[in-house]
Amino acid sequence: MTFLLSNDDGVSAQGLTQLASACREAGYSMFVVAPEQDRSGASNSLTLDRPLKPTVLKNGFISVNGTPADCVNLGMNTLCLEEPLRVISGINSGANLGDDVLYSGTVAAAMEGRFLTHSPIAISLVGHQHFETAARVIIDLLPQLESLSLPQRTVININVPDIPFNQLKGYEVTRLGHRHRCDPPVKTQSPRGKDYYWISCVGHEDDAGPGTDFYAINNDKVSITAIQVDMTAYDGNQTLQSCLNLSNQGHEQVQKQELNT
């Protein structure tokens, strides 16, 4: 089985190196295509205003001057010698829990691989130390995920506690929790008095009870969440449909009145 590996922390990030090493030791073949620098928070953006330049590094990884989604797009369609069966994005340095998935370049890189044979995987370490734990988690899960049949365009989002592997308390299938609204941007000034702003950190946990990805992580469990590309709010659509029907009826009545007059 051949994988396309990518990330949003950059081609030189420790997590990507750890992931590639673990996959290689487990006998998987792979192509690695990743951003030349940290592109955290890039979400699903594609670069449309300039050309992209892939560069093959000494370790065989391919560096691209673009976003995580750019990297997977190029990898699947141009750079890989054969079409990979699955995209694995990570190992991200930091959590991708709840609302984080809306902004995450890690999740976006995985999502770009949604058309391949096997569901793409985004894997994140909820911290910055025990990458070997996350690497072991993904290698342990892959044989089970190979035979898994998920709905088309489903992404598997995995978050791993930042602790030694033997301290994990298990695995849990979870739903996305939610965060509070983040703090306002932090205002700074240049020496010449020009205003600048730093986007604040993510909001604190809000919906983080049992069954959520937050709850699993807080209890030292690996969180596994199936997320979907289809963002349609079906219940909301039903409400809209009901309202639109009423509006159409009103419009029809007005038309009838106009015809009668």
Q: Is the pLDDT of residue 256 over 80?
A: no
User: Rounded to an integer, what distance in angstroms lies between the CA atom of residue 69 and that of residue 108?
Assistant: 6
User: Rounded to an integer, what distance in angstroms lies between the CA atom of residue 215 and that of residue 208?
Assistant: 6
* Burial class (CB within 10 angstroms; exposed 0-12, middle 13-18, buried 19+) of 145: middle
Q: Mean pLDDT score of the chain, rounded to an integer?
A: 90
Q: Which two tokens stand for residue 91?
A: 């190992």
User: Rounded to an integer, what distance in angstroms lies between the CA atom of residue 8 and that of residue 92?
Assistant: 7
Q: Is the pLDDT of residue 261 over 70?
A: no
Q: Is the pLDDT of residue 246 over 60?
A: yes
Q: Give the other-Cβ count within 10 Å of 260's Cβ.
A: 6
pLDDT at 247: 57
Average of per-residue pLDDT across 110-125: 95
Q: How confident is the model at residue 258 (pLDDT cuts 50, 70, 90)?
A: low
pLDDT at 1: 78
Q: Is 32 within 8 Å of 20 (Cβ atoms)?
A: yes
pLDDT at 206: 80
Q: Is the pLDDT of residue 257 over 80?
A: no
pLDDT at 259: 63
Q: Is the pLDDT of residue 112 over 70?
A: yes
Q: Which residue reads 């997590």 in tokens?
A: 15
In the chain the first and final C-alpha atoms are separated, in Å, by: 73
Average of per-residue pLDDT across 21-42: 93
Q: Is the pLDDT of residue 248 over 70?
A: no
User: Angle, nearest 10°, between helix axes 131-146 and 14-25?
Assistant: 50
Q: Which residue has the higher pLDDT, 221 or 205?
A: 221
pLDDT digits (tens, 9 = 90+) for 136-195: 999 999 999 988 889 889 999 999 999 999 999 999 999 999 888 878 888 899 999 899
